[in-house]
Amino acid sequence: MTSAVAEKRPYFGLTGKWLTFWITFACSVDMLMFGYDQAVFSGVIVTDDFLVLHDLVGREKTTLLSTVTAIYDIGCFFGAIAAFTLGERLGRKKSILVGTSIMSIGAILVTSSFSLEQMFVGRVILGLGNGINTATAPIWQTETSPAHLRGKLVMFEMMMNIVGFSLCNWINYGLSFAGGAVAWRFPLGFQFVFIFALFATVPWLPESPRWLLYHGQDAKALEVLACLGGKRLDDASVVTQQEEIRFSVQYEKEHQIRWRDLLQPHPGATKPLRRLVLGAGTQFIQQFEGINIMSYYLPTVLITAVGLSNQLARLLTAVNSVTYLALSCLSIPLIEKWGRRGLMLISTAGQGLAFLIITVLLRYGSPPDGNHKVAESSIVFFFLYYVAFGIGMLGVPWLYPTEINSIAMRTKGAAVATATNWITNFIIVQITPIGIQKLGWKFWIVFTIFNAAFMPVIYLFYPETSNRTLEDIDEYYRNDPALIVTGDKDAVSCKRLSKYMEREQSHFRRIERARNNVSDSKNTILTNFESAHIE
């Protein structure tokens, strides 16, 4: 126990912030690829060569085009479901490697597609791998990050999601001048850059220490905690952290509830169903606030609803992605300062306002009979919608389920949340072209109302998780909190409460005293031995 971490030199000798950096790099590449995949088909489906080759030309093919776009989300849904058991059995690292391998197969199929059937199969397989990865990477990041950086790092990952989104939109725009097969095959094949990056980094990085402790690998977990903290194996802060995690693990194992028993009350349980619903609810809210109308169909919306040319629509989509990226950076410093609740409320209010103004402008400006200048003025509010989304609802729904669920339910909770994202994503992506075609400007009323309706839900039911350890959140739920959180300081404060810090300091002092007592005993024995030897 007294040997230093440096003597073993795992992970190429990287410890502390450098080790956290490389875990964040791997998780960020995963999310970058996710953002890239979200954007790539928006350019593909307005490329003539793709539409002709796959027999998707004409208004009568709108439903089929919607389905081939949305079928990717069905693959992602089943991938997230697979992460239920796969993630807990294999661990975080191996799950990501399995997901990346599956994505490799899907990428080959879609890039080389010469038929609608091949494209369907490739999109499903690609989605299957992405569903596993997006259910796992945020958990891995959350469980290996210090409490004060956890929110910032996950929000940074989601900013990298926008980097992928923006990169893909610029590739789509640039290749629109080339035309032909390269205009859609190259963007689909480019994702192998990210796949290779994941295979180059994930295998040598550490497993989640919480997953290791849950599966009885205490010695390995202690080593990982020491490496992540850049400290010795016997450092009091490392031992304190291990014991706190072990206590939560043991408590959850003793009060573990089977899936079929979640609806029944259980004494001592830490509200697993409530926490599961809150986590999945963030993803449901995100999708029905309308983001994937934009991510998948913004060029189509600008062409059909605003009346822009194909090339100008692609250019504005690419420009929008840069402003979206730049302003979403605000979420990183604000995520701990304003908290998860605050950013979700601000983001939702901004999105609702943008949709309200878009609805009014398209009512009077949509082609063929509307005022073209009025329709064009709505472009500003499409941009503002992205700004509002990027500040909060971009990242919080990926962070919150990994924090709010207990260690026993974290993989399941994150998988349920991710599955919720993908099934609701499928619904939005499937109905959007049909809704715009059938309802015109009235389609936007629906999402204005959804944004307004979600405001009180977030305010009343969502507890704050910023600046807390994962074990603090477990303790909060062990005390049987009320469903409505607005009157509870424990639930709404963005600062870590003093009672949690006092408990941690008390634990730390106890371990220090125990270690000092052992050291004193050793010194006494050594002194007595030396005295006896002199005599």
φ, ψ of residue 444 in degrees (nearest 5): -75, -20
Distance CA 498, CA 502 (A): 6
pLDDT at 334 over 80: yes
Residue with tokens 């307005």: 46
Q: What per-residue string of b and e applies to 35-69 under the rule 16 or more CB within 10 Å gives b? A: bbbbbbbbbbbbbeebbebbebeeeeeeeebbbbb
Closest Cα to residue 275, out of 496, 492, 473? 473
Q: What is the DSSP string of 46-104?
A: T-HHHHHHTT--SGGGHHHHHHHHHHHHHHHHHHHHHHHHHHHHH-HHHHHHHHHHHHH
Predicted pLDDT at 150: 85
pLDDT value at residue 41: 85
3-class SS string, 191-222: CHHHHHHHHHHHHHCCCCHHHHHHCCCHHHHH
User: Is pLDDT at 86 greater than 90 in this prediction?
Assistant: no
What per-residue confidence (pLDDT) applies to 526? 40
Q: 422-471: per-residue pLDDT in tens?
A: 899 889 988 888 888 888 889 999 999 999 999 999 999 999 999 888 88
Report residue 386's pLDDT band, with 50, 70 and 90 as the boundaries.
very high
Burial class (CB in 10 A: 0-12, 13-18, 19+), 328: buried
- Whole-number mean pLDDT of the chain? 86
Tell me: pLDDT of 523 over 80: no
Q: Are 140 and 92 in contact (CB under 8 A)?
A: yes
The whole-number average pLDDT for the span 397-415 is 86
Question: Is residue 76 a contact partner of residue 422, using CB atoms and an 8 Å limit?
Answer: yes
Compute the average pLDDT of residues 405-421: 85
Highest mean pLDDT among 155-159, 260-264, 459-463, 476-480: 459-463
Measured in whole angstroms, the distance separating CA 104 from the mean position of its chain's CA atoms is 21
Amino acid identity of 272? P
For 468, the token pair is 């807390």
Measured in whole angstroms, how far is the alpha carbon of residue 175 from the centre of its chain?
29
Q: How is residue 272 written in tokens?
A: 């697993």
- Mean pLDDT across the stretch 128-135? 92
Which tokens in the block code for residue 35? Answer: 């953002």
**DSSP states along 101-151:** HHHHHHHHHHHT--SHHHHHHHHHHHHHHHHHHHHHHHHHHHHHS-HHHHH
Ranges 197-201, 277-281, 498-502: which has the least confidence: 498-502
* Count of C-beta atoms within a 10 Å radius of residue 518: 11
Question: Which is more confident, 178 or 189?
Answer: 189
**Does residue 521 register a pLDDT over 60?**
no
For 189-198, how does the pLDDT look when each residue is reduced to its tens digit (9 = 90+)? 999 999 999 9
Q: CA distances (Å), 505 to each of 250, 350, 511, in order?
A: 21, 41, 10
- Nearest in space to 325 (alpha carbons), one of 377, 376, 282, 383: 383
User: HEC profile for 13-32?
Assistant: HCCHHHHHHHHHHHHHHHHH
508, 80, 300, 217: which is closest to 516 by C-alpha? Answer: 508
Tokens of 122: 């490739």
Over residues 26-38, the mean pLDDT reads: 92
Taking the alpha carbons at both ends of the chain, their separation in whole angstroms is 33
Q: Which amino acid is at 497?
A: L
**Residue with more model confidence, 37 or 63:** 37
pLDDT class of 522 with cuts at 50, 70, 90:
very low
Q: Return the residue matching tokens 């007592």.
A: 517
Given pLDDT bands bounded at 50, 70 and 90, which one contains residue 530? very low
pLDDT at site 532? 43
Record the pTM.
0.78
pLDDT, tens digit, 9 for 90 and up, residues 98-123: 999 999 999 999 999 999 999 999 99
Cβ atoms of residues 190 and 171 within 8 Å:
yes
| Interatomic CA distance for residues 449 and 472, integer angstroms | 36
The per-residue pLDDT for range 151-161, each reduced to its tens digit, is: 889 889 888 98
